[in-house]
Amino acid sequence: MSLEIKVPTVGESITEVTIGEWFKKDGDKVEMDEVICELESDKATFELTAEAAGILTINAQEGETLEIGAVICTIDTEPSAGSSSNSGIGADPQAGQDILKKSATTDAPSSGATGEVKEMIVPTVGESITEVTMATWLKEDGSYVELDEIIAEVDSDKATFELPAEATGILRHVAAEGDTIEIGGLICKIEVTEGGAPSENKGGSPSEASVPAQGSVSGKDTYATGHASPAAAKILAEKGISADEIKGTGKDGRITKEDAEKAEKKAPAAPTAESKPASKAVAPSQEAPKVAGSRDTKREKMSSLRRTIARRLVSVKNETAMLTTFNEVNMKPIMDLRKQYKDQFKEKHQVNLGFMSFFTKAVCVALQEWPAVNAQIDGNEIVFNDFCDISIAVSSPKGLVVPVIRNAEGMSFDQIEKEVVRLAIKAREGKLSIDEMTGGTFTLTNGGIFGSMMSTPIINAPQSAILGMHNIVERPMAVNGEVVILPMMYLALSYDHRIIDGRESVSFLVRVKQLLEDPARLLLGV
């Protein structure tokens, strides 16, 4: 029987794909679920797997563009006994299946196989998320998995999600680590079994299967052995250390975050006298000086979050009429107030009194007085918000994230400080939910904590304005005809000139300056 393999649906907005590369030749014997070619769309690259075992007949060549649903190849699932492909196993279609199953790490018990194959697709993880990146497989290909067991981690541009198994059986990977998959795309298959886990003793001696090695849970290397967790992998990449260079102390030898933090890059071995090639004496003027040092380079694939940040920043620069206006603030009144009451504040509310609560309260007052700064464009309409959802830019290990403080206009100083701390901790631990990062009507970003003196922050679309805070520096200032040394901070308001005029932007920033330099106004509402 001849089975037609068609171009699968790989995304709602994708209508055609291009044949990137054939991994099998016309007339080759293929096994079920074997990757036979690579397809390219305008958004991502996908692997096409064989839907049955048999002889491959290619219909479309590399470089051809096909519409979704078009026939890309056929597979003869009943090849003749005289077929020369793959050393004589082509006469029996089931033989290919048996070989494929034998190659798996763990086989399902023959008495428990149901014949059903559960296809797992990338679930919908948020309204604005259209694709995810396969971060880490926690269960290796061919391993036995239980229903609801966590088998993988996937990264979106906003958060990391765990993927649970949707059935009990043998896991077959479809997507590899690092692959980008659209929502609804196929990520893996599970060959459903019944009757519990398969035998661990197939193909090995009883002693190997039943007696764990000393200091090991399984008695042999597993997928986890020498594999770094996502947090550990990032730390190792920053240090320029390969996972092969260190030994993991986690379960089954997995490299933990602590292992990565303790790891040190090995110094390159000094060349011995014997290894140095003899060279002719050259006059100093004829040869450039040789400076010792490494000239190694490395390539690192951009994370889904980083790619999304890059795409959005470029989009904002291209699609908005962005301008920036500046002012400066005397921070001495706030610093004196914090110094006077910080101990009592912390004792009563169990949280430090920081600058963020003052800035949040000040911008909420100014936003309500200048509503255009708190608005956004939706098509041909301007949406005005009567609430202030303040986005706080936080630098996390995976990149910049912007969690939101909801209805900040009605919160007290201690409530704002506690919410800032809560969101910052979750951001750095990578545990922010989609809801905590969506929405927002205005953004605060504090480059001053890194020492920034001046910047022009980019608007956090679809918002229309962002306020940049900077480093506090003591500078000589003229006060009542005298030179006084004051702690000063530059403020930068970037705004969309399509809906915010110069009068509104400048007046907004002047009002924020007024409230910060006289914080009693925040308490009195004047």
Range scoring the smallest mean pLDDT among 79-83, 280-284, 287-291, 432-436: 79-83
pLDDT > 70: what percent of the chain?
A: 81
Checking if the pLDDT of 469 tops 70, the result is: yes
Supply the CATH classification number for the domain 305-524: 3.30.559.10
Distance CA 136, CA 397 (A): 17
Q: What is the dihedral of CA 136, 142, 147, 151, to 10 degrees?
A: 0
Catalytic-role residue among 26, 42, 343, 501: 501
Domain 1-102 has CATH 2.40.50.100: yes
Query: What one-character-per-residue DSSP string does 442-495 give?
Result: EEEEEGGGGT-----PPP-TT-SEEEEEEEEEEEEEEETTEEEEEEEEEEEEEE
Strands in 54-58's sheet, in edge-to-edge order, are: 2-6, 71-76, 54-58, 29-30
Given the residues 42, 98, 148, 497, select the one marked as catalytic: 497
Instruction: Let me know if 497 is a catalytic residue.
Output: yes
Q: Is the pTM of this model over 0.85?
A: no
Q: pLDDT of 364-394, one tens digit each?
A: 999 999 999 999 999 899 999 999 999 998 8
Query: What is the three-class DSSP state of 205?
Result: coil
More confident site: 347 or 397: 347
8: Cβ contacts below 8 Å, ≥ 6 apart: 46, 48, 68, 186
Identical fold for domains 1-102 and 305-524, yes or no, is no
Q: Is 378 a catalytic residue?
A: no
Rg (CA), the chain: 31
Q: Which two tokens stand for residue 277?
A: 């090639």
Alpha-carbon gap, residue 384 to 404, rounded angstroms: 18
CATH topology of domain 104-199: OB fold (Dihydrolipoamide Acetyltransferase, E2P) (2.40.50)
Checking if the pLDDT of 333 tops 90, the result is: yes
What's the one-letter identity of residue 478? Answer: A
SS3 524: helix
Are 463 and 439 in contact by the 8 Å Cβ rule? The answer is: no
- Where do the domains of the chain lie? 1-102, 104-199, 305-524
What are the structure tokens assigned to 60, written together?
């479309």
CB 242 within 8 A of CB 270: no
The whole-chain average pLDDT of the chain stands at: 81
Highest mean pLDDT among 213-217, 309-313, 517-521 belongs to 517-521
Highest mean pLDDT among 142-146, 232-236, 264-268, 368-372: 368-372
Q: Tokens for 73, please give them.
A: 């190849």
pLDDT tens-digit map of 396-441: 877 788 999 999 999 999 999 999 999 989 888 888 888 888 889 9
pLDDT band at 486 (very low <50, low <70, confident <90, very high): very high
Q: Checking DSSP bridges between strand 160-164 and strand 180-182, what pairing results, if any?
A: unpaired
**Which are the contacts of 100, defined by CB distance < 8 A and separation ≥ 6?**
31, 32, 33, 34, 53
- Residue 245 or 90, more confident: 245
Instruction: Phi first, then psi: give them for residue 332, nearest 5 degrees.
Output: -60, -45
Report the C-alpha gap between 421 and 414 in whole angstroms. Answer: 11
